[in-house]
Structure 1
Amino acid sequence: MHTALETEVRHTPNVFDIDQVMIDRRAKRGFLDKPVPLEVVKDILNVARFAPSSSNTQPWQCYVLSGDGKNRITAKAVEVFRAGPEKLAPEYPFFPQPLPDPFLGRFNTFRGQLGDAVGVPRSDKYGRMRDVERQFRFFEAPIGIIFTMDRQLEWASFICYGCFLQNIMLAAKARGIDTCAQQIWSLQNPLLRAELGFADKDMVVAGMSLGFADNSLAENNMTNMKLEVEEFTSFVSL
């Protein structure tokens, strides 16, 4: 028998309106103090597992964090970050150095918008550190998910993983729940390996915040520029 909250998030209007769900999905960086039942998280993952993967290899592994377990790990992650952010290294490069145009232009535009929304200009070193700490708290979301992948796999498996992550985000949005995918959790791979007990052969791909967004926050109401279809598509008929 489902609770009232489980029934609410299972039967949100437009749950089958796939186009609108994709349009409405946004990365949210602040969440309400409102629980998400673990049964609903299981429902989301049960749908997401049907993501396509090369020859059905299914490279994903998930660790769902909530309650005291999540609080313990986020507190330690913030402590590790404060002790030496320059010591943290991701499991894989996020961007090439230098990032070329036009990607650099889009990156700078977005970072400027986000900085304005949270009131932290890029020149504010300490403000930016506080903003990173919010990421290591899963933006106060009730659920945090850590995603790992066997490092023996090749880079092509990241394509499969992207499909899986998108399935989670869309399935959550269809139930009225918001998310934020976070590559930054790859920086905390030693801590996560110690806390969650996965093997050295497994790499941290990303984390994800999951909960009910606090849409009173400016950063949760940003409008990001998206390219028009004609700007990224060539139609070839001959």
Structure 2
Amino acid sequence: MNVTNAVASRISCRAFLDKPVEKQILVEILETAKRAPSGGNLQPWLVHVLAGQPLAEFLAAIRSKRSMLPVGEGTEYNIYPPELHDPYRARRFKCGEDLYATIGVPRDNKLARIRQFSRNYEFFGAPVGLFFCIDRRMGQDQWADLGMFMQTVMLLARERGLHTCAQEAWAIWHKTIAEFLRLPPDVMLFSGMALGYMDESAPINSLRTERAALDDFATLQGFET
């Protein structure tokens, strides 16, 4: 698979097969992903990978907390701007509507929507869960570096026939995650990521979100044609 195909075929997978991923595959992905760019070569990313029994224990801990704290522990950063304006607001709204349409959940069925969203906290059944962290003293530039590292992981996963779903939704459980992973005080959680083999039969995985036209986001100057 070339890079173009990896980019074109990457989706946010929300249903995975109960099929383990070999440790060596994760090692290869991370060993290659460390070549991702970072300003000044700071390489500010930190990643924790859970599978097997540790993943099962972590998810059990989250389930016990969710019954007491259904909306989580709050976040340490804004996942979206407090006042999201158009066209970004409209894009987010349509993404949600299109997602729930794949599984036949209308807008007024709040319970079913909450139930589907809560699948985030099971890693959508993926056999591997990753947590991407960063030193609290890092700035916006280093957060961008971390995002590039995550994208590199996702594309390398596609090369190996795997799918992923980046999940900032995990930010609402940052305290429990920090405790489970034994993160030092100067390290914070940025995002989770589900990784595994996609369930091709799951309707929710048929979603292909729209993208803006090139003219909406790119300006090219100085070319003859």
Secondary structure of the corresponding residue to residue 153 of structure 1: coil
Partner of 1:185: 170
Task: Give the TM-score taking structure 2 as reference length.
Answer: 0.94
Alignment pair present for 1:42 and 2:30: no
Instruction: Return the offset for 1:87.
Output: 4.7
Selected match of 2:180 from 195, 205, 218: 195
Partner of 2:76: 91
Q: Could you tell me which amino acid in structure 2 is paired with residue 75 of structure 1?
A: A
CA 1:185–1:209 in 2, change beyond 3 Å: closer, same or farther?
same
Gaps of 5+ in 2: none
Secondary structure of the corresponding residue to residue 35 of structure 1: coil
Query: Matches of 1:158 and 1:51 in 2, distance apart?
Result: 13
Partner of 2:86: 101
- Deviation string, structure 1 residues 96-118 (Cα, Å, up to 9, x no partner): 12210000111110000111123
CA 1:65–1:87 in 2, change beyond 3 Å: closer, same or farther?
closer
Runs of 4+ in 1 over 6 A off after TM superposition: none
Q: Could you tell me which amino acid in structure 2 is paired with residue 112 of structure 1?
A: E
Query: Matches of 1:136 and 1:227 in 2, distance apart?
Result: 30
Instruction: Return the offset for 1:147.
Output: 1.0
CA contact (8 A) 1:75 1:137 kept: no
Query: Matches of 1:76 and 1:87 in 2, distance apart?
Result: 13
Task: Give the TM-score taking structure 1 as reference length.
Answer: 0.89
Partner of 1:146: 131
The count of aligned residue pairs is 223
Query: Matches of 1:41 and 1:20 in 2, distance apart?
Result: 20
Partner of 2:221: 236
Instruction: Return the offset for 1:123.
Output: 2.8
Partner of 1:57: 42
Secondary structure of the corresponding residue to residue 88 of structure 1: coil
Once superposed, what is the RMSD of the aligned Cα atoms?
1.4
Query: Matches of 1:61 and 1:183 in 2, distance apart?
Result: 15
Secondary structure of the corresponding residue to residue 83 of structure 1: coil
Gaps of 5+ in 1: 1-13
Query: Matches of 2:62 and 2:117 in 1, distance apart?
Result: 11
Secondary structure of the corresponding residue to residue 61 of structure 1: strand
Instruction: Return the offset for 1:177.
Output: 0.5
